[in-house]
């Protein structure tokens, strides 16, 4: 795995940003919960300071991974696209202070750093948090459901039918 070790405090102060593409196969913890090791994450981290001059990392992780459907146990492609703010504290006490100052609804994570953060750990954590607890197909491609599948129309086909009907009514 490529390492992206940053000093979060300098990184945020200087408004730096980095991004990259990382194959799922290089992220052991993520790969272990996926159906296979295919897929890739596209990620970006931007540093900034908030109103109180506290370091914030804006993290976006997107990409697709293969998960196991909990209904039919077949694999399914899951598209993830998750953004979160990670605030960086120097000590546990500072982290507690930040936690207390946050609104409950704010999607902010607080981490403690001694001056080094491995960006790939943040990316992998974010991807893991973004995965559904129980992945399921909308409609499973299971053989026992073949009858259903044939009858199933794409939403666009259904719309077309509807449009035709509306047109027909107009012509009457
Ligand atoms: Zn399924």
User: pLDDT digit string (tens) for 24-35?
Assistant: 999 999 999 999
Whether residue 137 is contained in a domain is answered as yes
Is the distance from CB of 29 to CB of 1 less than 8 angstroms? Answer: no
Q: Kindly give the distance from the C-alpha atom of residue 139 to the centroid of ligand 1, in angstroms, as a whole number.
A: 7
Percent of the chain, pLDDT > 70? 81
Q: Kindly give the distance from the C-alpha atom of residue 157 to the centroid of ligand 1, in angstroms, as a whole number.
A: 23
Reported confidence tier of residue 149, pLDDT bands at 50, 70, 90: very low
Whether residue 50 is contained in a domain is answered as yes
Number of structural domains the chain divides into: 1
Reported confidence tier of residue 156, pLDDT bands at 50, 70, 90: low
| Cα–Cα distance for residue pair 120/92, rounded to 1 Å | 22
Q: Kindly give the distance from the C-alpha atom of residue 144 to the centroid of ligand 1, in angstroms, as a whole number.
A: 12
Percent of the chain, pLDDT > 90? 74
Whether residue 167 is contained in a domain is answered as no
- Taking only Cα atoms into account, the Rg of the chain, rounded to an integer number of angstroms, comes to 22
**Strand, helix or coil at 172?**
coil
The parent domain of residue 54 ranges over 5-143
| Cα–Cα distance for residue pair 85/121, rounded to 1 Å | 14
Query: What pLDDT, in 10s, does the model give residues 49-91?
Result: 999 999 999 999 999 999 999 999 999 999 999 999 999 999 9
**Position with higher pLDDT, 110 vs 145:** 110
Whether residue 49 is contained in a domain is answered as yes
Average pLDDT, the chain: 88
Q: Kindly give the distance from the C-alpha atom of residue 50 to the centroid of ligand 1, in angstroms, as a whole number.
A: 43
Q: What is the DSSP letter of 18?
A: E
Q: Kindly give the distance from the C-alpha atom of residue 150 to the centroid of ligand 1, in angstroms, as a whole number.
A: 17
pLDDT of 26 reads 96
Q: Does the pLDDT at position 154 exceed 70?
A: no
Whether residue 153 is contained in a domain is answered as no
Q: Kindly give the distance from the C-alpha atom of residue 151 to the centroid of ligand 1, in angstroms, as a whole number.
A: 18
Query: What pLDDT, in 10s, does the model give residues 99-118?
Result: 999 887 678 999 999 999 99
42's enclosing H/E stretch is: strand 39-49
Whether residue 163 is contained in a domain is answered as no
pLDDT of 141 reads 86
Q: Kindly give the distance from the C-alpha atom of residue 84 to the centroid of ligand 1, in angstroms, as a whole number.
A: 29
| Cα–Cα distance for residue pair 163/94, rounded to 1 Å | 60
**Position with higher pLDDT, 27 vs 150:** 27
Q: Kindly give the distance from the C-alpha atom of residue 148 to the centroid of ligand 1, in angstroms, as a whole number.
A: 14
pLDDT of 168 reads 60
Q: Kindly give the distance from the C-alpha atom of residue 141 to the centroid of ligand 1, in angstroms, as a whole number.
A: 6
């Amino acid at each position: 795995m490529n390492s992206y070790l940053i000093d979060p405090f300098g990184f945020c102060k200087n408004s730096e940003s980095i991004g990259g593409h990382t194959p799922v196969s290089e992220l052991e913890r993520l790969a272990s919960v996926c159906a296979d090791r295919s897929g890739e994450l596209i990620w970006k981290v931007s540093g900034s300071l908030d109103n109180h001059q506290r370091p914030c990392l804006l993290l976006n992780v997107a990409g697709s991974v293969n998960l196991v459907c909990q209904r039919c146990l077949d694999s399914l492609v899951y598209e993830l696209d998750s953004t979160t703010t990670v605030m960086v504290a120097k000590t546990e006490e500072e982290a507690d202070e930040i936690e207390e100052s946050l609104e409950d609804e704010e999607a902010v994570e607080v981490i403690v750093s001694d001056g080094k953060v491995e960006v790939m750990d943040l990316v992998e954590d974010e991807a893991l948090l973004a995965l559904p607890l129980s992945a399921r197909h909308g409609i499973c491609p299971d053989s026992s459901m073949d009858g259903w599948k044939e009858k199933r129309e794409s939403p666009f086909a259904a719309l077309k039918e509807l449009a035709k009907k509306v047109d027909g009514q107009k012509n009457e």
